Homo-oligomer: A and B are copies of this chain.
Amino acid sequence: MSDLDLQVLDRRFAAAKEASRALGRATTSTKDGALEQVSRLLRERVGEIVAANGGDLDAGREQGLSTGLLDRLTLDERRIGAIADAVLEVIGLDDPVGESVSGRSLPNGVRIDQVRVPLGVVGAIYEARPNVTIDIAVLALKSGNAVVLRGGSAAERTNAVLVQLLRDALDAAGLPGDAVQTVDDFGRAGATRLMQARDFVDVLIPRGSAGLIRAVVEQAKVPVIETGAGVVHMYLDESAREDWSVELVHNAKVQRPSVCNALETLLVHRAAAERLLPPVLARLEAAGVTIHADEAVRALRPDLAPVTEEDWATEHMSLEISVGVVDSLDDALAHIRRYSTKHTESIVTNDLANAERFLDEVDAAAVMVNASTRFTDGAEFGFGAEVGISTQKLHARGPMGLPQLTSTKWLVRGAGHVRG
């Protein structure tokens, strides 16, 4: 990358940082006004967006992208309308900026208040999903942040139109358009520079495949919030109810298999295997699920494909599941400890002590008893919007709402107070 290109990128990052000051001080009504403009322009420019998207889709087909990827890449009038509606919903959410987190008067009379402030500049790195461009930008702007976007080459044409739209919406609302920047026109080199831009960017949020997230975590100098990958387990304890087991496993695996909170591995207590596996597996198979089974499961169902070491560690994101038998809760916990990506883990049991042990000992963003793993979700948790699901332990863990796009600062008010 030439020095000139680096300068262009750094100027964009600096412009985002400068614009973040105006965003950070903007009132909720001003920011909501900008979101209204985003929603309006999405409907107004639907033709332009669809045309640009057509160009990306043509290029994608030429490059042989899979049907699934092409589907994610597609923005038609209906989807654009849904995105415009979703933007209006964000207007209804509480603005976290300025919220008091804590406060007290110190013994000497000094008053300290901890209030929420925007992070500043949020970097987002994602792939071939142009809806994320609007989604992440709108959440960042609502919480007073500027954004620098890297949406991937497959959606480059669509994203260019959407970025211009976001900038126009800010201008129309009296906010600086520079609060939305892209590095897409610089390809991978743009992404790399973004990941190094510690002086300008306050946090990086990668959204997408496990590979993308790993690459960002390994290369970034900017602090990262890891989202995503879920090798999610459900464990049917000896005392698990059959009806709950059947419905919970089915819902967790089948309701939406392509998302991170979908079930990937089912573990069953040996003493319950003969009772629970036949109805549970029958329900899965009726829904078209492919089952990878360990030796003990295959003793009951020799027709099933054997599970591999790789299967246990895989997030299939499709109608496939790994199934195994364990001798005890301890063995289930050990299996989960080994293969869990610390997203969501669930036990089905009627044994109170085992339920509490599972809740206590499993190290994951969400740990469940007798509930579908599909509940780990910002909307289900009542956050109204979801930035992503953090699988790390610092700053945010689990579904992230608007408050997780903020930091805090301490306001200290004295009357000439000195420290003794």
A411 at the interface (CB under 8 A from B): yes
* Residues of chain B lying within 8 A (CB to CB) of residue A243: 416
Contact in complex: B418, A248 (CB < 8 Å): yes
Contact in complex: B412, A368 (CB < 8 Å): yes
Contact with B along A337-381 (1 / 0, CB 8 A): 000000000100000000000011101111111111011100011
Residues 55-114 of A at the B interface (beta carbon under 8 Å): 104, 106, 110, 112, 114
A216 to chain B, nearest CB (A): 12
Q: A394-B394, A414-B368, A417-B370 are in contact. Are A106 and B409 (CB under 8 A)?
A: no
Count of this chain's copies in the oligomeric assembly: 2
Which B residue's beta carbon lies closest to that of A115?
Answer: B359
Contact in complex: B381, A106 (CB < 8 Å): yes
A408 at the interface (CB under 8 A from B): yes
Within 8 Å by CB of A371, from B110, B218, B251, B255, lies B110
Residues 365-420 of A at the B interface (beta carbon under 8 Å): 365-372, 374-376, 380-382, 392-395, 397-398, 407-419
Contact in complex: A418, B251 (CB < 8 Å): yes
A21 at the interface (CB under 8 A from B): yes
Within 8 Å by CB of A247, from B114, B407, B416, lies B416
A193 at the interface (CB under 8 A from B): no
Residues 236-276 of A at the B interface (beta carbon under 8 Å): 241, 243-244, 247-248, 250-252, 255
* Residues of chain B lying within 8 A (CB to CB) of residue A306: none
Q: A382-B106, A408-B397 are in contact. Are A372 and B417 (CB under 8 A)?
A: yes
Contact in complex: B372, A419 (CB < 8 Å): yes
A residues with CB within 8 A of B: 21, 25, 104, 106, 110, 112, 114, 117, 119-120, 198, 202-203, 217-218, 221, 223-225, 241, 243-244, 247-248, 250-252, 255, 346, 359-361, 363-372, 374-376, 380-382, 392-395, 397-398, 407-419
